[in-house]
Structure 1
Amino acid sequence: MAGTDIPGADEYDVTVTIDETEVRRLLGVEPADVDSADELTFAKNVFVPLTTACRYTCTYCTYFDAPGEASLLSPEEVRDILRTGADAGCTEALFTFGDDPDDRYARIHDQLADWGHDSIHTYLREVCDIALDEGLLPHSNPGDQTREQMEVVADVNASMGVMLETTADVDAHAGPRVKNPGQRLATIRTAGELGVPFTTGILVGIGEDWRDRAESLLAIREMHERYGHVQEVIVQNVVPNERSSYDRPSVETMRRVVAMARACLPEEVSVQVPPNLSPTRELLDCGVDDLGGVSPVTDDHINPEYEWPALRELEDIADEAGVPLRERLPVYRRYLPEEVGGDGDDQWVSETILDAIGSDGAAGNRYRSVLST
C-alpha cells in the first residue's frame, strides 16, 4: 500500500510504502514467535487535561465536551496540579487537549485571548514553562499539529506524542469532523523532522481489521526508520464507556496484536500497553516492555472510568513476570547525552530540557536518580 491509499495522505503529502511481504509476515505472527522483555519500565506522571475541547467527535471518546461546556484550566490551576505531582515524586507533566480546540470553541478562543494568547499552542508553551519551574518534564499530546504549531512548543518538551490509531478509514472517525490518518502521519513526520522524541500507537477494536493493524504498524516503523524519533508504540484496546458500544477486544486478539507490534518494530522501540485498560498480565510474554505513564495523584482523564494501578500493583505485575520494574523519564535514555546520564550520541532535546535535568536541587536530583536506575 502506498501513501496515496491512506485517507488524507495526498492532502498532507504523506508517502508510506507498505511491503506486501511484510504484511503477510506480520499476519502470521503469533505470541510464541516473540520473546518476553527482560525488564518493564514506567514513568511517574501527573496528568493535566488542559482543556476538554476538541474539534473531533470520535464515537469511542469520552474526553471531549460539547461547545459551551468545555473547560480550560487556568495557569493557577495548572500550577496547583503540577505542584501536587512534584510533591508526589513525579517526573512527567502529561499535557493533553483535543485537536485545535480554539478553532471550534468560541469560549476557549476568547479565554485564551483574555490571557494574552493567540492560540492554544502559545498557552501550552506557558504551562510547559510552569511545569519546568515546578520540577517536572513536559510531555505533551496536543493531537494533530502543523510544523508551525509544533515549533512553538518543541523546545520546552522532553517528548511529545499523538496516537496514529489506524491508517484505515473507519466509521469510528466518521461525522462532520473526520479524524484523518494522513494528518496523523504528517504530525509524526513533523516530529521526526524537528527531532522530537515521540510516542505514538494504534487503537484496537474501532472497526479496523487485521490487515489494517499490520499496515498501521508498518507505517509507524517507516516513519521511525526515516527519522529515528519513535521511542515507544502503544498498543491500546478500546474500552466500553458511556458514549461507546464498542466491545473490548478479546485477550487472544490483544496477545496477537502486541506480538505483531513487537515483531514489526525495531528492537529499540518499546511496545507499551496501558495497565489500567489492558489485560496486562496476559500480554507480558508477547513482547511488552513498557507500562507507560502512571499517575499516583491524578485520574486518567481520557478514560476516567478506569483507574491507574498503584505502584504496588505494577511491582506485582513485574514480579509475576520475573523481571525488574524500572522507572524512566518521559524521554528515553537514548535521546539524552551522557553528560546528564543518558546513553545517546546525538542531542535530541533542547538546552532547556538538558538544563532542567542537569540542574541543582530536588528536581534535577530526582531526574538523575531515575536515569541511574
Structure 2
Amino acid sequence: MFPAADEYDIDIQFSESDVEPLLSVTPDDVEAAPALTFSRNIFLPLTTACRYTCTYCTYYDVPGQASLMSPEQVRQQLQLGADAGCTEALFTFGDKPDARYTEIHDQLDEWGHDSIVDYLCEVCEMALEVGILPHSNPGDLEESEFERLREVNASMGVMLETTADVAAHSGNRRKTPGQRLNTIRAAGRASVPFTTGILVGIGEDWRDRAESLLAIRELHERYGHIQEVIVQNVVPNERSDYESPSLETMRRVVAMARVCLPEEISVQVPPNLAPARDLLDCGIDDLGGVSPVTDDYINPDYEWPALQELHDIADEAGVPLGERLPVYDRFLPDSPDASDDDWVWSSDRIRAALTADDEAGRRYRSLVDGW
C-alpha cells in the first residue's frame, strides 16, 4: 500500500470508496467541538542529534555540534517545570542519535548508559520523582523499546507526517513511511497511549493526506491506542523555504481529519504554528502541550502562546477550556481505586504516581474527569 511498508510486513488496506469521500470534505461537514483542552508541559530536548536529515527540520545539529542534556540540566529544568505547575515532561530527540553521532554515544557510555533509550528511562524516572508525568517523543522504536519505556511514560508519540514518499525526506539518511507506520504499530502492540499526526505542506497532495489519516485510523482500530492526532502545518525556517499552507488548506485538512477519525481521537493543532482561532469550527478539540517556561525547541522561531491567550481563544469560541494530563482520561480506569485489570494502559510506576497521596498525585487526579 505504501512505500517501504512491505519491508516491515505492514498490511494496511482501505479502498477507493474510503479515500474519495475525504477528498470532498469541507469545514461545513463538521461541527465545532463543545470544549477545548491543553496540557501544561515542560519541553526537554534531550539531544539535538538525529540520524535523519529532513530538509525542513531545524531541530537536528550535525555531528560535532549536537548537544546532549546532562542529568544536572535535566533535573534543573524538571524542577522549573514542577514549580510552574507542569504535569507533562515532553522529552524529545532525533531518531537513533547514538547510532550516527560518536560523541553522543561516547558521552552516554561515560554516564553508564548503553543507549539513548537507556538514558531516557533514567530522566523519565527523574520527572516522576519531582511530580511530572513523562511523555516521550523518541522517534522510531521497536516494540521491545516501547515495552521498556512504557514503564516510566504516561504516554508517548511520533509524527507519521505522511505516507507519501516525499522529497522533503530525501538524502542518504531518510525516514520512510514504513518506518513510521511500524513505530505506530509497535506502540499499539505494547499498549502505549499514543500521539501521532500529519505534517501539511512538505510535498504531499490531498490524496496523500487522506491516505495518511486512513492509515492512522486503521492502526487505531486494531490496537485502540491513538489518543490524539496533530494536524501540523510546515513553517519556513533557516533550512528550508517551504511555504506555510494557506488557511483554506488547513481548514480543509483539519475537517478531513475530524471526519476520518473516530470520535474518541482528539484532533489537535499547535497554537504557536497554526491559526487556532480560525480552525475552531473545523473540529479541533485540543491545543496540545503548551509550556509556561520553555521554548518550542522544534520550532524555535515560533513562541508558545501565553496560557491566557488559550483562554481567550476558548472564550471567543464560547467553549470551556480545560487542562488535561498527557495521558487522556479514557485510558485511565473510572476510579484510582480500580482493580489491577482496569489499569491496562498504565504501568505500575505510572499508576503509583497517579494514585500517590502527595501534592503531585492530588494535582493529577484533579485533572481527571470523575476522579
Q: Does structure 1 residue 106 correspond to structure 2 residue 105?
A: no
Match of 2:87 in 1: 91
Q: Does structure 1 residue 120 correspond to structure 2 residue 116?
A: yes
* Runs of 5+ unmatched residues, structure 1: none
Distance in 1 between residues matched to 2:222 and 2:144, nearest whole Å: 21
- With over 3 angstroms needed to count, the CA separation of the structure-2 counterparts of 1:346 and 1:225, relative to structure 1, is farther
SS class of match (1:29)? coil
Q: Does structure 1 residue 183 correspond to structure 2 residue 179?
A: yes
Match of 1:357 in 2: 354
After superposition, where does 1:207-222 map in structure 2 within 5 Å?
A: 207-222=203-218
- With over 3 angstroms needed to count, the CA separation of the structure-2 counterparts of 1:76 and 1:346, relative to structure 1, is closer
In the TM superposition, what is the alpha-carbon distance from 1:234 to its structure 2 partner?
A: 0.2
Q: Does structure 1 residue 49 correspond to structure 2 residue 45?
A: yes
Q: Is the Cα contact below 8 Å between 2:329 and 2:369 reproduced in 1?
A: no
Q: May I ask how many residue pairs the two structures share in their alignment? A: 368
In the TM superposition, what is the alpha-carbon distance from 1:239 to its structure 2 partner?
A: 0.3
Q: Is the Cα contact below 8 Å between 2:146 and 2:192 reproduced in 1?
A: no
In the TM superposition, what is the alpha-carbon distance from 1:190 to its structure 2 partner?
A: 0.5
Q: Is the Cα contact below 8 Å between 1:195 and 1:229 reproduced in 2?
A: yes
The match for 2:280 among 284, 288, 292 is 284
SS class of match (1:11)? helix
CA displacement 1:322-365 (0-9 Å, x = unmatched): 100000000000101122299x9552111110110111111111
Q: Which amino acid aligns with 1:100?
A: K
SS class of match (1:10)? helix
Q: Does structure 1 residue 140 correspond to structure 2 residue 136?
A: yes
Distance in 1 between residues matched to 2:148 and 2:68, nearest whole Å: 19
After superposition, where does 1:200-211 map in structure 2 within 5 Å?
A: 200-211=196-207
* Runs of 5+ unmatched residues, structure 2: none
Distance in 1 between residues matched to 2:106 and 2:312, nearest whole Å: 47
In the TM superposition, what is the alpha-carbon distance from 1:154 to its structure 2 partner?
A: 1.4
The match for 2:163 among 162, 167, 170 is 167
Q: Is the Cα contact below 8 Å between 1:122 and 1:152 reproduced in 2?
A: no
Q: Does structure 1 residue 74 correspond to structure 2 residue 77?
A: no
Match of 2:150 in 1: 154
In the TM superposition, what is the alpha-carbon distance from 1:303 to its structure 2 partner?
A: 0.3
Q: Which amino acid aligns with 1:366?
A: R
Q: Is the Cα contact below 8 Å between 1:341 and 1:371 reproduced in 2?
A: no
CA displacement 1:8-44 (0-9 Å, x = unmatched): 1011111111221010000010000011100000000
Distance in 2 between residues matched to 1:347 and 1:100, nearest whole Å: 28
Distance in 2 between residues matched to 1:250 and 1:209, nearest whole Å: 14
Match of 1:320 in 2: 316
Distance in 1 between residues matched to 2:266 and 2:33, nearest whole Å: 10
In angstroms, what is the RMSD of aligned CA positions?
1.2
Q: Does structure 1 residue 348 correspond to structure 2 residue 345?
A: yes
Q: Is the Cα contact below 8 Å between 1:93 and 1:131 reproduced in 2?
A: yes
Q: Which amino acid aligns with 1:102?
A: D
SS class of match (1:339)? coil
Match of 1:21 in 2: 17
Q: Is the Cα contact below 8 Å between 1:43 and 1:330 reproduced in 2?
A: yes
Distance in 2 between residues matched to 1:312 and 1:214, nearest whole Å: 34
Distance in 1 between residues matched to 2:114 and 2:4, nearest whole Å: 27
Identical pairs, percent? 70
Q: Which amino acid aligns with 1:27?
A: L
In the TM superposition, what is the alpha-carbon distance from 1:276 to its structure 2 partner?
A: 0.1
TM-score normalised according to structure 2 size = 0.97
SS class of match (1:76)? helix
Structure 1 stretches of 4+ with a deviation exceeding 3 A read: none
Q: Is the Cα contact below 8 Å between 2:80 and 2:293 reproduced in 1?
A: yes
Q: Is the Cα contact below 8 Å between 2:193 and 2:227 reproduced in 1?
A: yes
Distance in 1 between residues matched to 2:336 and 2:278, nearest whole Å: 36
Distance in 2 between residues matched to 1:217 and 1:29, nearest whole Å: 13
SS class of match (1:44)? strand
SS class of match (2:7)? coil
Q: Which amino acid aligns with 1:84?
A: L
Match of 1:64 in 2: 60
Q: Does structure 1 residue 329 correspond to structure 2 residue 304?
A: no
Q: Which amino acid aligns with 2:300?
A: P
Match of 2:253 in 1: 257
Distance in 1 between residues matched to 2:16 and 2:188, nearest whole Å: 25
CA displacement 1:106-143 (0-9 Å, x = unmatched): 00000000011111001000000000001000000000
Distance in 2 between residues matched to 1:119 and 1:198, nearest whole Å: 22
The match for 1:130 among 126, 131, 148 is 126
SS class of match (2:289)? strand
SS class of match (2:126)? helix
Distance in 1 between residues matched to 2:266 and 2:369, nearest whole Å: 19
Distance in 1 between residues matched to 2:111 and 2:154, nearest whole Å: 25
TM-score normalised according to structure 1 size = 0.97
Q: Does structure 1 residue 306 correspond to structure 2 residue 306?
A: no
